[in-house]
Amino acid sequence: MFKRTTEDFVCEHCNAEVKGDGYTNHCPKCLWSKHVDIHPGDRAEACGGPMKPIALEGASPHYAIVHRCERCGILKRNGAGEDDSSEALLDIARNR
């Protein structure tokens, strides 16, 4: 079950200050995330590793960003947000 948690944070990858809205699960500037959830919003995952954006799936406007944890290797998919950097999204698409 999804648990909405509104949190502001500083991105551990690019140091951007991010204002959370309760659905924010990655940095909108560089698209990196952090492995903190077992189920969306629960903050129950002990790993805490950085999640690298490695691919885009889907079609516009409903892209999903595929993240891979740099610590444990798990793959997770998160919806792209309206505030996500179009340049960062294109970079992921090009590196596919």
**Domain membership of residue 16 as a residue range:** 9-94
Asked whether residue 4 is assigned to any structural domain, the reply reads: no
Q: Give the tens place of pLDDT for each residue, 47-77.
A: 999 999 999 998 877 899 999 999 999 999 9
Q: Looking at the domain assignment, is residue 56 inside a domain? A: yes
Residue 49 counted as domain residue: yes
Q: What pTM was computed for the model? A: 0.90
For 27, the token pair is 């940095």
29 domain residue, yes or no: yes
Q: How many domains does the chain have?
A: 1
Confirm whether 3 is domain-assigned: no
Domain annotation covers residue 41: yes
